[in-house]
Structure 1
Amino acid sequence: MDLARDATSINEEVEEKEDRISNLPDELIRHIMSFLDMKNAVRTSALSHKWEHIWTSTHSFNLNSCEFPTVRLFAEFVKGALSHQKIPVEVSKVQLTITRAANLPVVKRVVNNVYMHNVRELNMTCLARKFYQFPECLFSSDTLKHLTLATGDQSFYLHKASCIPRVAWNFPALETLCLRSMHLGDQGYESLDLFSKCVNLRDLTLHECCMYGLKIFNICAPELSNLTIRGTAYPDVVNVVAPKLENLTASVRGTVNQVPYTYESLQLSTEGFDSLEKVNLSLSMPHLDQARFFPLLLNLFHQLRSTKYLVINLDIIEVFILTLILLYVD
């Protein structure tokens, strides 16, 4: 009897306790909810009457296919969930993660449903082992300002061909673009020009991207001020037309230690960097043919001669010292 009375007393105390989370401001609750994947965010509607519609007005949301047995069911869920959204256009953000094998039509449906809501920021990651290509519709949006595209290590090394269509990206409002572990162009391509329609692009990051076999990779962006290039395999030439470029960070050698990739050095072709303030160069693969690499490095320095501040890592300094020693010995 005493245990029963104690249990009753505890239940009454729990009921009397204030629901502090529900009493938080709606804006703060929406912010907390933005860290949940969308499936769990929708589930919060069952908590109470107050929570029933909060998820429909979150400022950003996380879409992850790992919560679903198939990508097709994930696509259906995205369509249904987004149809209930009341997201303010000016603050909308989407984190989209594909973790299962996905064919092009299914991914296209997901992307189209996301773009229908005029998102301003999209971070899309493909971690599937069997992923063939991003849909062409992904590369056209009038409202997108910030875009990150990435593949996982497994998909990157298993997928030998380009994972993007050969079209100019139509992002008139895009300001920042980050590409991670992406294959850009296929062997035998004469040139690739992706950013010519991104007329407001200011920050571009190419992180561990592979351009193996491509002859010329064009970066033509009139408003570009910050450029980062850290590649696994470079093309013959990276042609940069960016008259407002202020900051350049680059690794001057590729890093992939796998056949058929070769260790090509970064070679720039420019029309001049009149606005260049700072250059930060690193040598990602210090073991190389000194005699072949040294002239290429001197040519790169010549291309960057207008910069006000040049930062180089110790590996590059070592190349200069060893080369000078060899020249002196000879």
Structure 2
Amino acid sequence: MDFVRDTTSIIEEGEKEEENKDRISNLPDELIHHIVSFLDMKYAVQTSALSHKWEHIWTSIRCLNFNICAFRTPRLFAKFVKDALSHQNNHVEESKVQLTITGAATPSVVKSIVNNVYLHNVRDLNMTWLTTRKFHQFPECLFSSDTLKHLTLATGDQSFYLHKASCIPKVAWNFPALETLCLRSMHLGDKGDESLDLFSKCVNLRDLTLHNCCMYGLKIFNICAPELTNLTIRATSYPDVVHVVAPKLENLTASVRGTINRFPFKYVSLQLSTEGFDSLEKVNLSLSMPYYEPKRFFPLLLSLFQKLHSTKYLVINLDIIEVLILTLFLLYVA
């Protein structure tokens, strides 16, 4: 019986030691870096206090998440971003920075943050500026980088306020190395602007997404990109004409109608002008709320189909099919 008790005691002690063992620290460094990359950088830095092994872990992660909400003031946030970037391991390639900024940050603070990000040759930047009713404009320095390859810019999803004024500079953006660009809930151009050409200097741009963007009142929006292969346009409001010069375009996804859902209540449709799509492989078209004057969209759809005649695969949603069938039926009855 004594032997049984001794054996049980040994097993229990062994189980306790196993429970207290730091299993996370024994994981491969690459996996630890991946786990820490999901943390906000303020908390990632604090992991350095866990043990000697963790002291420099945060300096080698590839995805750096900075959120201004974790700081008392915007200036403290800007200083933290600067210090954190300066301590990053220079041997880590293809680093990604994710910035989340609120309307409390002044344009000068945002400019300082962006300058520090570009100073460290970041390849991938994802920046969200959660604006409020007070208007803020992205600093011009944000739109010029020799090394940036991937860029995502977004504001808060407040389509009503997107009609006020453009939040970006109206000159060609200087991104010679940029390959992918995603703009979300951005106001592009102002009412009465004749033409806007943002991407002509993005000579290596291959993937462009305009999601929930507003081009209200703009006459011509130019998309001139010689290497562009994938284009997605889903706007809250379209300009008079979207002019596309993209000889290597293979995939096009677009909503035929703008999706403005607040007053002033107005529907604006995609009017496409091209210089030929010789490489077009697949087109995916969608139409929301087709029951509002469906006959009005029949000639628009025919015009789009004619411009996209070279595509190999055309995908249309059920709303477009309903418009086509209903309009043809009404014409037959008449």
With the length of structure 1 as denominator, give the TM-score of the two structures.
0.92
Instruction: Please say if residues 59 and 87 of structure 2, whose CA atoms lie closer than 8 Å, have aligned partners that are also in contact.
Output: yes
2:62 to 56, 59, 63: 59
Q: What is the aligned partner in structure 2 of residue 127 from structure 1? A: 130
Amino acid at match of 2:23: R
Alignment of 1:26-65 (within 5 A): 26-65=29-68
Higher mean C-alpha displacement, 197-206 vs 46-55? 46-55
Q: For structure 1, which runs of at least 5 residues remain unmatched after alignment?
A: 1-8
The answer to whether the Cα contact below 8 Å between 1:216 and 1:235 also exists between their aligned partners in 2 is yes
Separation in structure 2 between the aligned mates of residue 205 and residue 261 of structure 1, nearest angstrom: 25
Q: CA deviation at 1:87?
A: 4.3
Checking the alignment, whether the CA contact within 8 Å between 1:218 and 1:238 is kept in structure 2 is yes
What amino acid does structure 2 have at the position aligned with 1:29? I
1:3 counterpart residue number: none
Q: Deviations over 1:279-313 (max 9, x none)?
A: 11110231322333221211111111111111111
Amino acid at match of 1:92: S
Once the two structures are superposed, the pairs formed by residues 58-137 of structure 1 within 5 Å of their partners are 58-88=61-91, 90-129=93-132, 130-137=134-141
- Residues 62 and 93 in structure 2, CA contact (< 8 A), matched pair in contact too: no
Distance 1:99 1:277 in 2: 40
> Is 1:147 the equivalent of 2:151?
yes
Unaligned runs of 5+ in 2: 1-11
Quick check: 1:102–1:131 contact (8 Å CA) kept in 2? no
Where do 1:159-178 residues align within 5 Å?
A: 159=162, 160-178=164-182
1:242 aligns with 2:241: no
Runs of 4+ in 1 over 6 A off after TM superposition: none
Quote the Cα distance in structure 2 between the aligned partners of 1:328 and 1:197: 50
Q: Cα deviations across residues 177-217 of structure 1 (Å, max 9, x unaligned)?
A: 11111111110110110000111111111111110000000
Q: Which moved more, 1:93-102 or 1:104-113?
A: 93-102
What letter is aligned with 1:115?
A: Y
> Where do residues 173-212 of structure 1 align in structure 2 (5 Å cutoff)?
173-212=177-216
- Residues 80-113 of structure 1, C-alpha deviations (whole Å, 9 max, x = no match): 2111111435320111111342221110111111
User: What is the correspondence of 1:292-307 to structure 2 with a 5 Å cutoff?
Assistant: 292-307=296-311
Confirm or deny: 8 A CA contact 1:212 1:261 kept in the other structure: no
Cα 1:241–1:152 shift into 2, 3 Å: same
Deviation of 1:18 after TM superposition, in Å, equals 2.6
Determine helix, strand or coil for the equivalent of 1:320: helix
RMSD: 2.0
Q: Distance in 2 between matches of 1:328 and 1:224?
A: 42
Spell out, residue by residue over 1:49-103, the C-alpha distance to the aligned partner (whole angstroms, 9 max, x if none).
2211221121221011110122222111111211111143532011111134222
Is 1:281 the counterpart of 2:285 in the alignment? yes
Q: Aligned-pair distance for 1:165?
A: 1.1
Counterparts of 2:54 and 2:196, CA distance in 1: 49
8 A Cα contact 1:139 1:169, kept in partner: yes
Instruction: State the one-letter code of the partner of 1:98.
Output: I
Q: How many angstroms apart in 2 are the aligned matches of 1:179 and 1:202?
A: 14
2:228–2:248: 8 Å Cα contact kept in structure 1? yes
- Once residues 69 and 200 of structure 2 are traced to their aligned partners in structure 1, the CA distance between those partners, rounded to angstroms, is 35
Deviates more, 1:22-31 or 1:209-218: 22-31
TM-score normalised by L of structure 2: 0.91
87-96 or 75-84: which moved more?
87-96
Contact 2:67 2:100 in 1 (8 A): yes
Partner residue in 1 for 2:4:
none
* 1-structure distance, mates of 2:127, 2:312: 36
Deviations 1:14-63 (A, max 9, x none): 59943222222222221111110100011111112221122112122101
* Cα distance in 2, alignment partners of residues 326 and 110 from structure 1: 59
What CA distance in whole angstroms lies between the structure 2 residues aligned with 1:52 and 1:320?
64
Q: Is the 8 A contact 1:233 1:261 kept in 2?
A: no
Distance 2:70 2:121 in 1: 25
Q: Rate the CA distance shift 1:121–1:131 in 2: closer, same or farther, 3 A.
A: farther
